[in-house]
Amino acid sequence: MPYKVLYSNFDGIFAVPNTVVEKYLKVCSPTALKVILLLLHDTKKAGEIDSISEQLGITTADTVEALNYWVQAGMLQMTSGVRNVPKEEAKVTPQPICEEQPQNKEKAQKVMTVSSRPPRISQQEMAQLARTDENISVLISEMQSAMGKALSPMESEIIVSLYTYAGVPVDYILLTAVYCSELGKNNVRYLEKTIYSWLEQGIDTYEKAEQHIIRIGESGGRENMVKSAFGIFDRALSAQEKKFVQSWYDELGYELPMIALAYNKTIDSIGKLSFPYINTILRNWHAKGFKTVQQAQEENKPAAAQYSAERSAASSSDLDELEQLITHGRR
């Protein structure tokens, strides 16, 4: 459906530089766009940070960050009447920190080798890069959908830096963003730390990241089952406890029934929950080749049978003695 602008309904017009639309409209945040439009409408507000915040319904910190965005973009200039805004960092020539190995055509086969963290990218650099690489605009848009919020200028810088300097593929970044959002960690700083942590662990392709997330989900499910079996409902497992659980499943090959049996034996023996004690029981069973609950339960049956036989023999002897006493007494 075609549309047209109804100039007859305009009650006034103010100038908007072509640069704002042509260079920054795609990459700037909604907050930054609101701020620059307000300042272009009323230039007197340029030094009134609190007034801008109140009129737009945003925080002072967001206002300062948006003003800094336009300072770095060359659309605003610092004056003595404006509250101090961090100056733009010295420009750094991009130095890619990831070496890409020969790869297949499939996007998921990209391999990254991290040597250091990338430098922060300026808004001007980001705008220039966006003009030559359409993936940047797509990345910012999809990131906002994945995280359920508009990205601040600083958050956009971090994301674009991951993509351009570190060479992290768009699909890898978006996959990690969805994972972090599901954890309730809906911020770009946490995303950045997660990505670099994974890369340092050798999780350097989309497939590896996907499999890692699946393993984390499986591990979380197992941990929840163990917590339920152990009666832990008011806290999360400690890092050491999680290592125990992982070793019981992955190293020893045991499932919940064997782990629950070891827990019951622990409670019977020492009267309290102890992960190290449970671990000792399970490792003893593993050393003896026990793979089923039945094998573990039958471990003490021979001793019990011998004890029962000894009790029976003793009882029989006692009866014989009692019979003799009765017989001799009658005589």
In angstroms, the CA 218 to CA 239 distance is 16
Ordered by start, the domain boundaries in the chain are: 9-72, 107-204, 233-291, 300-330
Per-residue pLDDT of the chain (331 residues; tens, 9 = 90+): 577 777 677 777 878 888 888 887 877 778 888 888 888 888 776 667 888 888 888 887 778 777 877 877 778 876 544 444 343 333 333 333 344 433 333 433 444 444 445 566 777 777 788 888 888 888 988 988 888 888 888 888 889 888 887 889 999 999 999 888 877 788 888 899 899 888 888 898 999 999 988 888 777 788 888 988 898 888 889 999 999 999 999 999 999 999 999 999 999 999 999 999 999 999 999 999 999 999 998 876 654 444 444 444 444 455 455 445 434 544 4
Q: Return the structure tokens found at 178.
A: 């969805």
- Written as one letter, the residue type at 314 is A
pLDDT score at 99:
40
Kindly tell me the burial class for residue 199, based on how many C-beta atoms sit within 10 Å of its own C-beta (0-12, 13-18, 19 or more): buried
Q: What is the pLDDT of residue 23?
A: 80
The reported pLDDT for the residue numbered 302 is: 52
Q: What DSSP state is assigned to residue 149?
A: S
Token pair 């000792």: residue: 280
* Cα separation, 288 vs 309, whole angstroms: 26
Q: Determine contact, residues 70/84, Cβ cutoff 8 Å.
A: no
pLDDT score for 156: 87
Look at residue 201 in the predicted model and tell me its pLDDT.
Answer: 86
The whole-model pTM stands at: 0.45
